Structure 1
Amino acid sequence: MTQTTRTGTTRTETAIADHGLIGDLQTAALVTTDGSVDWFCCPRFDSPSVFGALLDDAEGGHFRIRPAGVEYTTKQMYLPDTAVLVTRFFTESGVGQVQDFMPPAGSTATDRHRLVRMIQCVRGRMSFEIDVAPRFDYGRHPHRAELSADGVVFSADGASLTLHVVREPGDEQRARVQVEDQDVHATLDLVAGEVRGVVLESSADGPPRAVRVAEITDLLDGTMAFWRSWLAGSTYTGRWREAVQRSAITLKLMTYAPTGGIVAAPTAALPEQVGGERNWDYRYTWVRDASFSVHALLRLGLVEEAAGFLVWLGDRIRERIGSDSGPMNIMYRIDGSSDLKEDSLEHWSGYRGSAPVRIGNGAAEQLQLDVYGEAMDSLYAAARAGLPLPARGWSAIRSVLDWLVDNWDQPEEGIWETRGGRQSFTYGRVMCWVAFDRGIRMSVEHGRPAPLERWTAARDAVYTQVMEQGFHESRQAFVQHYGTDVLDAALLRMPTVGFVDGRDPLWRSTLAAMDEELVTDSLVYRYDPDASPDGLRGSEGTFSLCSYAYVDALTRAGRVDDARSAFEKMLTYGNHVGLFSEEIALTGEQIGNFPQAFTHLALIDAAVTLDAALDNHGPVPGLR
């Protein structure tokens, strides 16, 4: 997919959607449609940024490659079935391109990462300008640049980045390089068919070296082969395959290979409302988001990520057995640690002035009971997919459910991490029902010992309570929490998880109420913040996870034509390479952290469910 994005030689403020994502399964970078890396954290997703122009164009740092001194237009695409991003430039004198990729770093944690930028003149001739302006530790540490014949070493406070130049013998006069204020500026002249480039390496084991074109070509071929081999494991052959596969690749790009943790997004502090304060750091592993992601990938037949995440999840549970605050936090760093102290970068202006720029996340220790249901649902799905259920794993599951039996009936913060006080959230109760239900199923289907009478009594008590207190008679709808009449789009998942049949009159009336209040041309708001104060100023856009969950709910309610229309409309809000952020603003602009695992996993779920319904000419059952 391609899209013309801008003309001119001066950098304009870049929209959130004007990016593609590359990564090596340990960290990731965002590349703008005019060839600038303006977000890159190293050596991990949750490490401090090196390039952060996304959040402060003046002070954040960037790594830019573009035509020098002429007007140009650009288009951007992925090479098919890969995470190799191509940015093409069109000028009066020729066509050029930059192919950006990161060779997979493997499953062992390392500080060594390579960002390859392969520069090519496709037609005519082109002069490229290259600007490398790192800002280590979110721009809090000044750096030094040491220039040599074969590249540059940038260093600050013990960290270093090495820029290797791609060149061939006789290239000495082709590039012109200068250092200004410890940043590097260069120009490179190419004619049709010529390929050069640069390789940015973290923690290199030697000085800059001349890299030959054949070497980066081999790296490109190996990276493409990796992605195509991985994607070949998908069993999905249905409709919207391109969107589904791009979403699968995006989820894979957000997986930290050494531990199996999946980040909610590779970015921090992108606003839910431009100029507002809802600016959160999503570079961590939420149990909920990762569980959803695993479930979505399992539906495509991709089991490797599920196996890795289940090991990660089991380790987290065993670490907290006996804890008074429960067997799981709601989120962790990707290595499983729980230090997510929230802070603000006061020296950064934020995306389009959206402050504060938050790093860390103060919601880490909130009580959100739904995470237990999502975790158990993913464990059950993995077992159904044929993954083993080891004895230590079952012991961890029992400890979770035994704790939940005694703790499900209490106020909590809820799925949306509101900061307006604890409530008895209906969605949280529904997911507690899911936790007990899946535990019971696993015990029976796999012959595992369990206090089934106790779990069954708890499951039935949750169900009864939700039906008696979670359904508002005058609104004829399930509501956000007990004692309110506020609707909540999280409840769109009730038929998905099998709590209620999608054709049940109680559910159809709930869906009708949401149609009237939360849905706008297929886009869905999470809830009405004016009716349900969440402790924060400002508003937000429609929530893309909810929009795809709406498609799933429509399908299960038998409204298949409506579901297909809503799905097709939602696809039009994706960016030029099929990526989605967290939310859609009133103008159709993408807002919130980008790309968002929640959105892409929900796209996969909606597509699989709707495709099956279209093939079967009717709704699909609730338990996936």
Structure 2
Amino acid sequence: MDQFPPIADHGLIGDLQTAALVATDGTVDWMCLPRFDSPSVFGSLLDRRGGHCRIRPARPYRSTQMYFPDTAILITRFMTDSGTGEVVDFMPPLTDRSPTDNHRLVRMLRCVRGQLSFEFDLMPRFDYGRRPHTTHILPDGAVFHAGDQILTLHAVREPDDARLARLQVVGGGHVHGSITLEAGQVRGIVLESGARTAPRALRVAEVQGLFDDTVRFWHTWLAQSTYRGRWREMVHRSAITLKLMTYAPTGGIVAAPTAGLPEQLGGERNWDYRYTWIRDASFSVYSLLALGFTEEAADFATWLRGRYRAHGGPLKIMYRVDGSWDLREEILDHWEGYRGSRPVRIGNDASGQLQLDIYGEMLDSIYQADRRGLRIGHQGWHDVVDLLDWLTTNWDQPEEGIWETRGGRADYTYGRLMSWVAFDRAVRLSAEHSLPGPVEQWQQQRDQIYEQVWDRGWNPHRRAFVQHYDSDVLDSSLLRMAQVDFVAPQDPMWLSTLDGITDELVTDSLVYRYDPLAAPDGLQGSEGTFSLCTFNYVNSLARAGRLDQARLIFEKMLTYANHVGLYAEEIDLTGEQLGNFPQAFTHLSLIDAAITLDHAMDSARASDPLQFAGLLRS
């Protein structure tokens, strides 16, 4: 590729075991096989020689992109002076939940007006471009061999077609081809991994059947949603995005399907997010439960139980999607990085950190699932009791914290807050279902944490809760204090904290995690505003009764979504999206903020119609 497209110039497709990014110029520039956390086959998003599959018109064009309504099927439309065409990209969902090496990426080509000539280039680069391959052109497609890895190109054509296109192998073992279509014609290609047979010609009707089945899957899944609020399209797009990041065989949910996308262009904050964090996945389950999706919560509970039983003791903060925990970090020195942002890291050394908050997020998701009818089982409860035994003797110690800084451990207020949540939710579950356990001890631990946070987490000079004890640094992770019921949402001390965050960490409604100059994090450079924190800010404002401000910020935040409603991790000063994409954190917090704001606005309308009318005009 000649240049790197903006991070936001992509849509996401997937089959519930892996995913692909498709740019608005028709290029698949990121895809890992056979799983989210496997080595890439297409990686030109991080290196121009990293491999891609590009389909676009042979003449000058302009393009737009959209999702087929209420699905994860992506349509890239091309307009030229000779006609209009579409590339319809999707991956048939793998619903049997068995891990497989066999995945299909369907790329249907349509001419909808006039005449259009498409060109395509298929340039796989296996194992992050480190493994060579051979290329074989056959009558109905092509095969790429890289040791035990196989990628097959199947032609989509009709019997009277001479060939799909004029295929030829060009330098570097990639395939180039072209095809001209008239209005109404549909052709295309199917890329298949792990196939052990020769390429075969697929008929248009067969591929149309795959399209119909994929539409049916997504419509059936989305029909479970109970959300009837004001922002249904954005909330449902976020729900679909979270589902796309779910590894169906185990129920693990990745933080993002990408690695190495920078938090600062040209900087070193480039991390691999293709793993299941206890925190992120618990938040995702919480948000999906709030929309009425219960299957994902049950699957994640099974995944969690497997992680604990695999080695006992404290949980790791993250795992691979299959539950293993070898995430040794390494650097791809041969890759240039997105717009020169190096190093490109795969693996994640933060997996060895101590982050005490994960137990609170896990217990809160279990508690929310219980409230929606998903009762915890006998063995699952005993696992919880064992984990809380560990937390009882370990919560009061320094840790690395939620943001995974690399500047050493501290007594983070957020870690204590979520430890309080862990004990509190266990006490509630025990009381509601008469479950056995050392409840008095849990209550004592819960109350001790409560008093400690109010005593040491509150800084009287700043008139705010602070990032860690004995500091005066504000941290937007604490925006969750009211959401988890630790503090009343209109408590004066909480409102003072909210005001402090507004003054120091908010810029034109966008929220930074913390000030790295005030709280060095062991890394060079800076970062953009953190979109999770912005939506949590909306949530806090709504709970505090500041509805006009909350709604304005929420609506402004929606304008930062990309053209198909997706968000990366951060937003920079120019409004450009930064960090891994799309980000589960951002989409789950959008859902939470929308639900909270809906509820607050409905309550305002019921209690004071005149005030509500003023809110609508603001």
Q: Identify the TM-score tier after normalising by the shorter chain.
A: over 0.9
Residue ranges of structure 1 left out of the alignment (5+ in a row): 1-9
Q: Give the match's secondary structure for 2:461.
A: coil
2:60 paired residue number? 71
Alignment pair present for 1:464 and 2:455: no
* Distance of 2:164 and 2:82 partners within structure 1: 18
Is the 2:41–2:129 Cα contact (8 Å) retained in structure 1? yes
* Distance of 1:469 and 1:350 partners within structure 2: 42
Distance 1:393 1:165, change over 3 A: same
Q: Give the match's secondary structure for 1:312.
A: helix
Is the 1:251–1:293 Cα contact (8 Å) retained in structure 2? yes
Alignment pair present for 1:273 and 2:260: no
* Distance of 2:37 and 2:376 partners within structure 1: 31
2:315 paired residue number? 328
* Distance of 1:110 and 1:253 partners within structure 2: 17
1:174, distance to aligned residue in structure 2 (A): 6.0
2:131 paired residue number? 141
1:557 to 544, 549, 559: 544
Q: Give the match's secondary structure for 1:127.
A: strand
Q: Give the match's secondary structure for 1:297.
A: helix
1:606 paired residue number? 593
1:11, distance to aligned residue in structure 2 (A): 4.8
Alignment pair present for 1:438 and 2:422: no
Distance 1:174 1:145, change over 3 A: closer
Q: Give the counterpart letter for 2:245 in structure 1.
A: M
2:499 paired residue number? 512
2:616 paired residue number? none
2:118 paired residue number? 128
Deviations 1:575-611 (Å, cap 9, x if unpaired)? Answer: 0000000000010000000000000000000000000
Alignment pair present for 1:167 and 2:154: no
1:5 paired residue number? none
Q: Give the match's secondary structure for 2:260.
A: coil
* Distance of 2:99 and 2:181 partners within structure 1: 37
* Distance of 1:320 and 1:112 partners within structure 2: 30
Q: Give the counterpart letter for 1:259 in structure 2.
A: T
2:352 paired residue number? 365
Is the 2:4–2:45 Cα contact (8 Å) retained in structure 1? no
Is the 2:157–2:163 Cα contact (8 Å) retained in structure 1? no
1:186 paired residue number? 177
1:88 to 55, 77, 92: 77
Q: How does 1:258-407 map to 2 (within 5 A)?
A: 258-321=249-312, 323=313, 327-407=314-394
Alignment pair present for 1:207 and 2:194: no
1:12, distance to aligned residue in structure 2 (A): 4.0
Is the 1:557–1:619 Cα contact (8 Å) retained in structure 2? no
Is the 2:457–2:469 Cα contact (8 Å) retained in structure 1? yes
1:13 paired residue number? 4
Q: How does 1:527-542 map to 2 (within 5 A)?
A: 527-542=514-529
Q: Give the counterpart letter for 1:167 in structure 2.
A: R
Q: Give the match's secondary structure for 2:221.
A: helix
Alignment pair present for 1:100 and 2:89: yes
Deviations 1:177-217 (Å, cap 9, x if unpaired)? Answer: 11112110000110000000000000113110000000000
Is the 1:174–1:189 Cα contact (8 Å) retained in structure 2? no
Alignment pair present for 1:35 and 2:26: yes
* Distance of 2:604 and 2:184 partners within structure 1: 52
Q: Give the counterpart letter for 1:484 in structure 2.
A: S
Q: Give the match's secondary structure for 1:176.
A: coil
1:169, distance to aligned residue in structure 2 (A): 1.3
* Distance of 2:564 and 2:488 partners within structure 1: 36
Point out 4+ residue stretches in structure 1 off by more than 4 angstroms: none
2:610 paired residue number? none
Is the 2:364–2:421 Cα contact (8 Å) retained in structure 1? yes
* Distance of 2:68 and 2:3 partners within structure 1: 26
TM-score between the two structures when normalised by the length of structure 1: 0.96
Alignment pair present for 1:413 and 2:403: no
Q: Give the match's secondary structure for 2:449.
A: helix
* Distance of 1:102 and 1:553 partners within structure 2: 38
Q: Give the counterpart letter for 2:54 in structure 1.
A: R
1:365, distance to aligned residue in structure 2 (A): 1.4
Deviations 1:513-568 (Å, cap 9, x if unpaired)? Answer: 01100001110000000000000000000000000000000011110111000100
Deviations 1:124-169 (Å, cap 9, x if unpaired)? Answer: 0000001000000000011111110000001112101000000111
1:13, distance to aligned residue in structure 2 (A): 2.6
1:388, distance to aligned residue in structure 2 (A): 2.4
Q: Give the match's secondary structure for 1:244.
A: helix
* Distance of 1:305 and 1:190 partners within structure 2: 42
Q: Give the counterpart letter for 2:43 in structure 1.
A: G
Q: Give the counterpart letter for 1:97 in structure 2.
A: E
Q: Give the match's secondary structure for 2:36.
A: coil
Is the 1:560–1:619 Cα contact (8 Å) retained in structure 2? no
Distance 1:131 1:397, change over 3 A: same
Q: Give the match's secondary structure for 1:132.
A: strand
2:561 paired residue number? 574
1:319, distance to aligned residue in structure 2 (A): 2.3
2:239 to 248, 268, 276: 248
Q: Give the match's secondary structure for 1:364.
A: helix
* Distance of 2:575 and 2:605 partners within structure 1: 31
Q: Give the counterpart letter for 2:466 in structure 1.
A: V
Q: Give the counterpart letter for 1:401 in structure 2.
A: L
2:216 to 218, 225, 231: 225
Q: Give the match's secondary structure for 1:617.
A: helix
Is the 1:255–1:262 Cα contact (8 Å) retained in structure 2? yes
Identity, % of aligned pairs? 65
* Distance of 1:447 and 1:147 partners within structure 2: 67
State the number of aligned residues: 605
1:234 to 215, 225, 232: 225
1:481 paired residue number? 468
* Distance of 2:273 and 2:361 partners within structure 1: 18
Distance 1:17 1:463, change over 3 A: same
Is the 1:556–1:619 Cα contact (8 Å) retained in structure 2? no
Is the 1:34–1:74 Cα contact (8 Å) retained in structure 2? yes
2:42 paired residue number? 51
* Distance of 2:147 and 2:526 partners within structure 1: 40
Is the 1:555–1:619 Cα contact (8 Å) retained in structure 2? no
Is the 1:272–1:279 Cα contact (8 Å) retained in structure 2? yes
1:618, distance to aligned residue in structure 2 (A): 8.0
1:318, distance to aligned residue in structure 2 (A): 2.1
1:360, distance to aligned residue in structure 2 (A): 0.1
Deviations 1:440-497 (Å, cap 9, x if unpaired)? Answer: 0011111100101100000000000000000000110000000100000000000000
* Distance of 1:265 and 1:242 partners within structure 2: 21
Alignment pair present for 1:525 and 2:516: no
2:14 paired residue number? 23
* Distance of 1:389 and 1:362 partners within structure 2: 32
Q: Give the match's secondary structure for 1:500.
A: coil
1:4 paired residue number? none
Higher mean displacement: 483-492 or 197-206: 197-206
* Distance of 1:11 and 1:362 partners within structure 2: 32
Residue ranges of structure 2 left out of the alignment (5+ in a row): 608-618
* Distance of 1:140 and 1:459 partners within structure 2: 51
Is the 1:522–1:566 Cα contact (8 Å) retained in structure 2? yes
